[in-house]
A and B are shown apart, each in its own frame.
Chain A
Amino acid sequence: MSASDLLITASPHLGGGDTTPRIMWSVVASLVPIVLAATWFFGLSVPLVLAAALAGAGAAEWAFGRPGSLADGSGVITGLLLGLTLPAGLPLWMAFIGGAFSIGIGKLIFGGLGQNVFNPALLGRAFLQASFPVAMTTWPTPVTAGDWWTLRGDNFAFPFMSARAVEVVTSATPLGSMKFEAQSTPVTDLLLGTTAGSLGETSALLILLCGGYLALRNYLNWRVPASILASVAVLATALHWVNPRYPDALFMLLSGGLMLGAMYMATDLVTSPVTNRGCWIFGAGVGVLVVTIRLWGGLAEGVMYAILIMNALVPYLNRWTQPRVFGVSPPAARP
């Protein structure tokens, strides 16, 4: 850190209680209800997949990170968030590799916490999606009464071997059935999360609540999710109005990984803009890209790529949206 990076202010100073580990562990705590809900919906496979993703992230952090960096909780968030974007039936070794990739390539290669350009969890997911496209898009339906203990896929496939076909009902995600079969899903199912999909992209209501708690504690900039959701809503409404073939705003907002992405991925403290104006632009960009990919792209879901693309623009957003220093006139206005 050079001298110019130091924050120089006049006294008196008021110490804030927030430290990086405290914020990170608060985020982890806010994820607990989502994890529990996912476990409720998808059964025993959920803790297994999450544990494998966490183990991968932890192993990479332990092997390549600075000593003690495991304790700051950021690796745990990455592991959990990655796990929540995976389908329940994914073989555990894939989840482990995804976790290790997230931390190793997504974070540590850039220099560790605070240096990474892209959201590590999403990078891990993008890697898994590109590596194992079939396993990553096999979506088991939520558990029905009594089969909580049944695995939702061949979780225990031997490392580097493909999954055996398992007697589990799979189905398209709401977005998939909308895109490829033009079939909508009832809004109550989307709100509660009783649909097929990855672990954390099911109950929109719960994610909204947990994210709201973080926003209240000011651990995430509420402008990012607000801007993402607003731009998706506006764009979807306009398109639905022009051509009813396109899904309406409510479906777009509640389906897929949009809630989890908007609340937990896009708001990552490291990879989102530091200025408020930057946050609005960032969110709007994500929203537009999500709608574009969902409606006209080859994939059913586009939240992951939308956020990753906007992550790449964050340094520019930060530069463009620097607030004017108080008491200094803008260069153009100078005599």
Chain B
Amino acid sequence: MSPETPPAALHCGAPAAAPTSPRRAVTPREDLARGFWRENPVLIQLLGLCPTLAVTNTVANSIVMALATFGVLVGSSLLVSTFKRWIPNEVRITSYILIIATFVTIAEMVLQALVPDIYKALGPFVALIVVNCIILGRQEAFAGRNPVGRSVLDAVGMGIGFTIALLIMGSVREVLGSGTFLGVSLFGPRYEPWVVMILPPGGFFTLAFVLLAIAWWTQRKAVRAKAAEPRALAAAERAA
């Protein structure tokens, strides 16, 4: 590479191609908001179902679990995205797991120090964040091939999406299964709790009903869009 060649001609690859690329550039806001709902890791991608089913029997457990996962996800995405140039492709999964495990250890110690009761209630599931497929999936699908800023935004969005899903599950299960929300009694002392909802089957029931509701809603939206299509076409023809 001699100094007299014009740099613009040589480096026409990435910078010059970007504006003419057929794919629209992704705004930071889209990176962030994607995980909330449209690509929600639990409710749409059906990843990370193990903690979703196992620890959502109370709202407090759900929140702590979601926050721990959120922290691990953001931290790992930041590190993986930063070091992606130096991580050899052949051992990338191992390297990702190492990075994730580091943050899980931190999260575990923090929880143990701050909320020992809930840490005990969560049992092995804090340590199992290491193999949470949301986290590994985001490293493999996003952080390992995108710039640091976008990766962190994506991780924050996915973490919030996970929190939303866990909150829905935890609220339904605690309200029905114990008659309380965050430990505050909702229906008075004579409420008859549905014990099954805080047991493992209740997790499956709740997840099934949430997914059912989402499927029903999506389908209804699609049917309405289809019904609106001919009308829109007719309107366009009239206008023409």
Residues of A within 8 A of B (CB): 91, 94, 105, 127, 130-133, 135, 157-158, 160-163
Q: Does B191 contact A (CB under 8 A)?
A: yes
**Cβ contacts under 8 Å, B109 to chain A:** none
A131 to B191, Cβ gap below 8 A? no
Q: Does B131 contact A (CB under 8 A)?
A: no
Q: How far is the CA of A127 from the CA of B188 in the complex (A)?
A: 24
A161 to B190, Cβ gap below 8 A? yes
Q: How far is the CA of A132 from the CA of B195 in the complex (A)?
A: 6
A130 to B187, Cβ gap below 8 A? no
Interface core residue of B191, B192, B196, B201 (most chain A CB under 10 Å): B192
Residues of B within 8 A of A (CB): 187-188, 190-192, 194-197, 199, 201, 205
**Cβ contacts under 8 Å, B187 to chain A:** 160-161
**Cβ contacts under 8 Å, A131 to chain B:** 194-197
Q: How far is the CA of A168 from the CA of B159 in the complex (A)?
A: 54
B195 to A130, Cβ gap below 8 A? yes
**Cβ contacts under 8 Å, B190 to chain A:** 158, 161-162
Interface core residue of A131, A135, A163 (most chain B CB under 10 Å): A131
CB < 8 Å neighbour of A135 from B192, B197, B201: B192
Q: How far is the CA of A132 from the CA of B191 in the complex (A)?
A: 11
**Cβ contacts under 8 Å, A160 to chain B:** 187, 191-192
Q: How far is the CA of A127 from the CA of B194 in the complex (A)?
A: 9
Q: How far is the CA of A285 from the CA of B39 in the complex (A)?
A: 46
**Cβ contacts under 8 Å, A130 to chain B:** 195-196, 199, 201
CB distance from B175 to the nearest CB of A (A): 11
* CB nearest to A162 among chain B residues: B192
20 A-B pairs (CB sep. < 8 Å): A91-B192, A94-B192, A105-B205, A130-B195, A130-B199, A130-B201, A131-B194, A131-B195, A131-B197, A132-B192, A132-B194, A132-B195, A133-B195, A135-B192, A158-B190, A160-B187, A160-B191, A160-B192, A161-B187, A162-B192
CB distance from A312 to the nearest CB of B (A): 15
CB distance from A299 to the nearest CB of B (A): 15
B192 to A127, Cβ gap below 8 A? no
**Cβ contacts under 8 Å, B192 to chain A:** 91, 94, 132, 135, 157, 160-163
**Cβ contacts under 8 Å, A135 to chain B:** 192
**Cβ contacts under 8 Å, A132 to chain B:** 192, 194-195
CB < 8 Å neighbour of A162 from B191, B197, B199: B191
CB distance from B67 to the nearest CB of A (A): 30
A161 to B195, Cβ gap below 8 A? no
* CB nearest to A158 among chain B residues: B190
**Cβ contacts under 8 Å, A91 to chain B:** 192
**Cβ contacts under 8 Å, A133 to chain B:** 195
Q: How far is the CA of A157 from the CA of B199 in the complex (A)?
A: 24
CB distance from B195 to the nearest CB of A (A): 6
**Cβ contacts under 8 Å, A163 to chain B:** 192
In the A-B complex, the 10 residue pairs with the smallest Cβ-Cβ separation, listed nearest first, are A130-B196, A162-B192, A131-B196, A131-B194, A161-B190, A162-B190, A131-B195, A161-B192, A133-B195, A161-B191
Q: How far is the CA of A92 from the CA of B171 in the complex (A)?
A: 26
CB distance from A275 to the nearest CB of B (A): 31
Q: How far is the CA of A160 from the CA of B195 in the complex (A)?
A: 12
CB distance from A125 to the nearest CB of B (A): 12
* CB nearest to A132 among chain B residues: B192
Q: How far is the CA of A161 from the CA of B179 in the complex (A)?
A: 10
Q: How far is the CA of A134 from the CA of B227 in the complex (A)?
A: 51
Q: How far is the CA of A157 from the CA of B201 in the complex (A)?
A: 26
Q: How far is the CA of A317 from the CA of B191 in the complex (A)?
A: 44
Q: How far is the CA of A158 from the CA of B191 in the complex (A)?
A: 9
Q: How far is the CA of A45 from the CA of B25 in the complex (A)?
A: 69
**Cβ contacts under 8 Å, A161 to chain B:** 187-188, 190-192
CB distance from A166 to the nearest CB of B (A): 14
Q: How far is the CA of A158 from the CA of B190 in the complex (A)?
A: 10
**Cβ contacts under 8 Å, B196 to chain A:** 127, 130-131
CB distance from B57 to the nearest CB of A (A): 14
**Cβ contacts under 8 Å, A127 to chain B:** 196
Interface core residue of B187, B191, B194 (most chain A CB under 10 Å): B194
CB distance from A160 to the nearest CB of B (A): 6
Q: How far is the CA of A133 from the CA of B195 in the complex (A)?
A: 8
